Amino acid sequence: MSLLMLKDKIRASTVCKKWREAAKSVRVFHKHQWFVSIPTFGNSINLFDPLERKKYTLNLPEKGVTDVAYSKDGWLLMRRSSFVEFFFFNPYSRELISLPDNELPYQAIAFSPAPTSETCTLVTLNRISECIVAISTCYPGATEWITKKFHFYLAFGPNVHSNLVCVNDRFYCFTSGGVLFEFDPASRTLSHQAWDDVRFPEIHNNEWSYLPKELYLMEQKGELILMYTYGAEKPKKILSCISNKKVKILKIF
């Protein structure tokens, strides 16, 4: 087993339980992350090592007609073509965890931690209007999603917001209006704070208004990293949102 490449180790680990344990005993964890891409058609997924610049392909009959809604800790949150059926899937162990159907619309979805944890929670966000946000939650083993609406005096916009990111069991979303939303699934409360330091003049002065705008939020070592993009332009700024509610600019392009 120790002489096999990662792709072959994954295949060998699916033969039986003894082979799976043998594969785990010689597994080497990379210090860098790999990328997973899901082709639109077929039952395969692609693994890409950005440092070695190598790509591997795995055949997954379990995939079927699905797309990936979110990924974390080696698990994929899959959505079937019906758009209401969700399930967790681990492409390495081939483990599958079912979830209740979600027929409500959403604009962002995330989960944390891994679905094998007792504290795993799924959260969806739906912007109903500038001042009304709907949050739906679910967990493995639940029979339904629970939805709660929140009203705010700060506008949830204008029309652009980031993805959801979970840090320390709380979910965060940032809007182009300079507002950071924080959802605590334990207490089912949603708080928000306006950060004037990251209100970009290109947005609020209607500069580059004709270009599509995207906000990306990610977590690194407990910090929230925010990135703006404008059309095909390079990222305008990258900011670090520290847990003590301060902001520092990491890099300007």
Q: Report all structural domains of the chain as residue ranges with CATH numbers, in order of start.
A: 101-252 (2.120.10.80)
Q: How far apart are CA 206 and CA 159, in angstroms?
A: 13
Q: How confident is the model at residue 31 (pLDDT cuts 50, 70, 90)?
A: low
Q: What is the pLDDT of residue 138?
A: 95
- The model's pLDDT over 102-139, given as tens digits with 9 standing for 90+, comes to 988 888 999 988 999 999 999 999 888 777 889 999 99
Helices (H), 5-113: 6-12, 17-25
The rounded distance, in Å, linking the Cα atoms of 23 and 6 is 10
- pLDDT at 66 (0 to 100): 81
Query: Given this model, what pLDDT does residue 250 score?
Result: 45
pLDDT digits (tens, 9 = 90+) for 47-96: 888 877 888 888 877 777 788 889 888 898 988 877 789 999 988 788 89
139 vs 24: which has the higher pLDDT = 139
Per-residue pLDDT of 210-241, as tens digits, reads 566 777 888 877 778 877 776 666 665 555 55
